[in-house]
Amino acid sequence: MDQPVQIWPDADGTLQIELAGDIDYTNSSAVVSAIKAAAIEPGPPAIRIDLDAVTFLDSSGIGVLIITSQLADTLGAAYTVVRPGRNVFEQLRLTGLVDLFGIVAPGD
């Protein structure tokens, strides 16, 4: 994946979002814009963010997850974050987002 974000709807309408590489101050604004453009009204029933290919999140990258969560709340959509690698999981654990988003540890 050459882009930091790939987005598509599943057959059930769930908005699938795959993030890749470093999600940081250099691209977080573009990532948020792409997600907002894809989640237009009436909005998806669920938003699922896959972090399997993410190698690094700075505070801006973490902001992407929080902004997307707030967007899901606004749309009344379920929100899940899945498949973080060990390093990304640890970053999310330290910020409290693992508990907030119910993220499962790698290998569980």
Mind spelling out the 3-state secondary structure of 19-49?
Answer: EEEEECCCCHHHHHHHHHHHCCCCCCCEEEE
Backbone angles phi, psi at 7, to 5 degrees: -135, 135
Stated as kind and residue range, the H or E segment containing 61 is: helix 59-75
CA distance 32 to 19: 11
Residue type, 54: V
- What length does the chain have? 108
The rounded distance, in Å, linking the Cα atoms of 9 and 31 is: 16
Distance CA 38, CA 18 (A): 13
pTM over 0.85: yes
User: Which of these CATH numbers, 1.10.10.10, 2.40.50.100, 3.30.750.24, 1.20.810.10, describes 5-101?
Assistant: 3.30.750.24
* pLDDT by position in tens, the chain (length 108): 568 999 999 999 999 999 999 999 999 999 999 999 999 877 899 999 999 999 999 999 999 999 999 999 999 999 999 999 999 999 999 999 999 999 999 986
Alpha carbon distance 103, 108 (integer Å): 10
